[in-house]
Structure 1
Amino acid sequence: MKNKMNKIKGLALALFAMLISLTSCEGEWIDSELNIDPDAPSDVPMNLLLPGIQQSMGYNLMGNNSVRTNNIWMQIFDGVSRQSFTEARYQLTPADVNNLWINTYTEMMMNTTILVQKSRMEGSESPHYTGIGQVMQATTLGITTDLFGDVPFSDAFEGSRGNLTPVYDEQQKVYDTIFTLLDNAVPNLNSSENTFAVSGDVIYGGNLAKWEKAANSIKARHYLQLSNVLGNEAYTKALAAAQDGFESNADDYLVPFEDSNRNPIFQFMEQRGDIRMGATLVDLLVSNDDPRLEFYVEANGDGEFVGSEIGSQNESASAPGPAIAGTDQAVKLMTYSELKFIEAEAHFRLGQTTEAQAAYEAAVAASLLRVTGEDQSDWIASNLPGMTLESILTQKYIDGVGTNQPYADWRRTGLPSLELAPGAVTSSIPTRFPYAQNELDYNRANVPTVTITDKVWWDQ
């Protein structure tokens, strides 16, 4: 009887399996889309990839995971509690940069690689998307290598079936890649053979002329960054690139934020609030009656603009103001004022005093206008410090608040002069970020052995 029952059960199971097989073949048993995750599509069109990459650039490259840290080191901010206080004493671990590294390589560089690949596929050819992608890739790669040094690029982005342990390109090679990307972007942006018009561009709204200016301006930034390597050649090349760069504040390379997608420093202050404005910057603004003071610095509880001395944990000092941490404040990938400061320094270094003075004044005027919204010609006539290399770099430092450029320029030039923080855990201010813990866990054989006080290649 038992054997008979087992045979009946076996026959029933076989018939059930056959039924499933037949109905699944006819598509009537299981919905073919049942296991598709609508929040993780297998394919995303270019016009939806583009704004996601741009918002990630604004949030990660210019936000909490990068700018907050190096602006603390540059004494623009001061960390007054928790993680920010430890960073004010130069404690930055591989785990601390994991989010920055992962988001840079997935949300920005990998997605930009996909964007460019899609723009070259038969039937969807769009050199304009290609050019925009190349400018964004160069921008991201430039900031990343300036923070970390050698980074993976030429051996990366092969997907899950490719190389998961890419080698690190030496920074000199990375810089060559940046310039190649920008050189290739310009003809693509000017191409007349375009299948799809650009849409989804939250930075320039598809204005290709502005993207071309951005390409040349970023090129000028990175040529200047090589001044300790190339000498006068760097200044000459920076000036040549700048000729086709930004022409006014209207060309600024900005990522917008709004109430539903708030500025990253605003979000940080709302959620944690453990930074205050640094005394080095605040005292500089106060001493010169700088009109940018009330925009960069929020008055404290006593209605005063007070900076926190680095490492002092002064939680009653002023918080970041609306030009840094406003709810809908755009973040600066690069600006016209930065480009004019590049011209001012390059002309000054080449002994071209008249051109340097004109660029210096134009840079400060553009910065004041962008931050305050008003022409500040009277202040410039009465208060602008006389032009020296130090005044050019100091004014550029003020202009670059909330960006990575003060940190890049300080390493390259030593200006402005900054003192070591009390209680520092290193013998000098860090000159690079550590590599991410994920890289140490999964790609250790390729990760360069460095400390955060080792200099990157161009910092000679």
Structure 2
Amino acid sequence: MKRKSLLLLIISLFSTTFYSCENYLDINYDPNAPKEVTEKLMLPAILSTFSYEIAGGFPVRISANWTKYLAFAGTGPHEGQYRLTANETDNFWRYSSYTDIMKTSTELIAKADQNGNPAYSAIAKIILAWNMSYITDAFGDAPFSQAFQGETGVTKPAYDKQEDIYKRIQVLLDEAIVDAGKTTGIQPGAEDFIYGGDMVLWQKLAHTLKARFHLRLSNAPGYNAATQANLALEALDAGTLSSNDEMPKFNYINAPNAENPWYQYTIDGKWSTAYKPSIFYLNLLNSKNDPRLQYQVDPVAEGDNEGQYVGVTNDATPTGLANYSAIGSFYSAADAPLYLLIYAEVPFIRAEAEFLKAGNTITPAVVTAYNEGIAASMGMYGIDEAAIATYQTANLLLPTTAYEQIMTEKYIANYLQFESYNDFRRTGYPNLPLNTETYPDTELEVAPVLESIPVRFPYPSSERSYNPDNIPAEVPSAFLQAMLVPVWWDKQ
């Protein structure tokens, strides 16, 4: 599918507001400051903020250190040492999610419904549900039913239970699927930066998210793994993403402040160049002779380790950062697209669901989906079929380790995705050690501040200041203690 760049799209969107001098003199308002913001203008802001700040932003930057895709090769304190404060989570919660994305999405839904433009409502409902999943998976209970009502006086919204949030998310996705199938009203076009107005693909994405979220509750209190697996399979069978070509992605361009977020975060130094692929992750791929290594990680470009794949630990490097590998340019080039969801997740959802449905037993359906997941992941990089077959043969499912194998392969396929943090908490796989590795013949300058991997983000400082009575009592205000309290569905 042909997608325009962000810059060209913005130019095209606003070009219609420029008028000739003659026309300008005939009006008494500023044509470049419209009195009403239309659906066509609201949608790009929602999608671009969701991509940059959420799917490729703060939550995944933090979780990538905790799931050991990356490590921070510098002195502390930092998130690689399991240190995350309430001040640091504030922007993710307060501005990016609640104010910018979800509040605007609710306004777009209301406007589109009033104007009879269900396609815009469908996309906004999907993004609202998706962003809310990031919030509840990171923090647990959160405002939802009373959120976005500040204008009507609700300035201290009650917190919804995580179980109720997930029920509402599923309803939003169901509504979006129906709305996306309607052909009435204005249809999105170039301002839809993800699918260019292809509402069938938005429906497929919604079914995929439904399957993901059903499986999320496989170990939740009062829920049954086999039942959740069946619900996930029903969502997949209803019409999910079916190829790498259908992955939702956001295109970036090689221009100042318009580059790919991983490039901005880790390559050109807008944040730090100390985020590097971890020793743990490189060792994992090397131990499996995984051909995806060369796409997920770049070899060292210069210095003593030139041409080699060298990972880092969460500590200051004994030599310069240039002697270590960077995130692969497939993900981190200035003009690399950001993948909001990896297609290979679809067959891996099916593999796990079939496995749980069968009582944690390998069946032909499990094997087929598992191999399809590996093939889809490697196919995303253009790896040839012979190499894929060799890898599949070397990684056959075994009865005693099948669940771990499925989830580990899904973890590799979901490189740099927040979903891996959710899967780890939900299933315990992959088996991740603590961030206590050291370089040869060295000791950690600063050890992790916790003795276990954090299982939630601490509630942000703005909530502690302005809405403290509604924060769940079981989550301490001290950020280190808070990160040890599992969210509701994390009962594996």
| TM-score calculated relative to the size of structure 2 | 0.82
Within the alignment, does 1:173 sit opposite 2:164 as a pair? Answer: yes
CA–CA distance in structure 2, aligned partners of residues 64 and 170 of structure 1: 25
Give the CA deviation at 1:414. Answer: 0.8
Secondary structure class of the residue paired with 2:71: strand
Q: Which runs of 5+ in 2 are unaligned?
A: 1-26, 437-446, 476-481
Q: Residue in 2 aligned with 1:233?
A: 227
Secondary structure class of the residue paired with 1:206: coil
Q: Residue in 1 aligned with 2:101?
A: 108
Within the alignment, does 1:434 sit opposite 2:473 as a pair? Answer: no
More helix, by proportion: 1
Q: Residue in 2 aligned with 1:345?
A: 352
Secondary structure class of the residue paired with 2:47: helix
- Spell out the pairing of 1:276-315 with structure 2 (5 A cutoff): 276-300=276-300, 301=302, 302=305, 303-311=307-315, 313=317, 315=321
Per mean C-alpha deviation after superposition, the further-off stretch among 336-345 and 156-165 is 156-165
Q: Residue in 2 aligned with 1:457?
A: 488
CA–CA distance in structure 2, aligned partners of residues 94 and 128 of structure 1: 37
CA–CA distance in structure 1, aligned partners of residues 433 and 345 of structure 2: 25
Q: Quick check: 2:259–2:335 contact (8 Å CA) kept in 1?
A: yes
Give the CA deviation at 1:134. Answer: 1.0
CA–CA distance in structure 2, aligned partners of residues 82 and 113 of structure 1: 42
Give the CA deviation at 1:456. Answer: 0.4
Q: Residue in 2 aligned with 1:127?
A: 118
Alignment equivalent of 2:387, drawn from 375, 378, 386: 378
Give the CA deviation at 1:286. Answer: 1.7
CA–CA distance in structure 1, aligned partners of residues 147 and 227 of structure 2: 31
- Structure 1 counterpart of 2:288, one-letter code: N
Write out per-residue CA displacement over residues 428-455 of structure 1, whole angstroms, 9 at most, x where no aligned residue. Answer: 1100111111121221222224101110
Give the CA deviation at 1:332. Answer: 2.4
Q: Residue in 2 aligned with 1:242?
A: 236
- Spell out the pairing of 1:195-344 with structure 2 (5 A cutoff): 195-199=185-189, 200-229=191-220, 230=223, 231-243=225-237, 244-260=239-255, 261-269=258-266, 270=268, 271=270, 272-300=272-300, 301=302, 302=305, 303-311=307-315, 313=317, 315=321, 316-344=323-351
Give the CA deviation at 1:91. Answer: 0.5
CA–CA distance in structure 2, aligned partners of residues 287 and 428 of structure 1: 25
CA–CA distance in structure 2, aligned partners of residues 128 and 298 of structure 1: 40
Q: For this pair of structures, how many residues does the alignment match? A: 422
Alignment equivalent of 1:391, drawn from 395, 405, 414: 405
Give the CA deviation at 1:62. Answer: 2.1
Q: Residue in 1 aligned with 2:178?
A: 187
Q: Which runs of 5+ in 1 are unaligned?
A: 1-30
Write out per-residue CA displacement over residues 94-126 of structure 1, whole angstroms, 9 at most, x where no aligned residue. Answer: 1111221121112210111111011012xx211
CA–CA distance in structure 1, aligned partners of residues 135 and 193 of structure 2: 22
CA–CA distance in structure 2, aligned partners of residues 356 and 117 of structure 1: 42
After superposition, the Cα gap between the structure-2 partners of 1:132 and 1:64, relative to the gap in structure 1 and judged at 3 Å, is closer
Cα RMSD between the aligned structures?
2.0
Per mean C-alpha deviation after superposition, the further-off stretch among 201-210 and 142-151 is 142-151
CA–CA distance in structure 1, aligned partners of residues 280 and 328 of structure 2: 16
- Structure 2 counterpart of 1:67, one-letter code: V
- Structure 2 counterpart of 1:458, one-letter code: W
Per mean C-alpha deviation after superposition, the further-off stretch among 271-280 and 441-450 is 441-450
- Structure 1 counterpart of 2:119, one-letter code: H
CA–CA distance in structure 1, aligned partners of residues 459 and 242 of structure 2: 37
| TM-score calculated relative to the size of structure 1 | 0.87
Q: Quick check: 1:79–1:313 contact (8 Å CA) kept in 2?
A: no
Secondary structure class of the residue paired with 1:91: coil
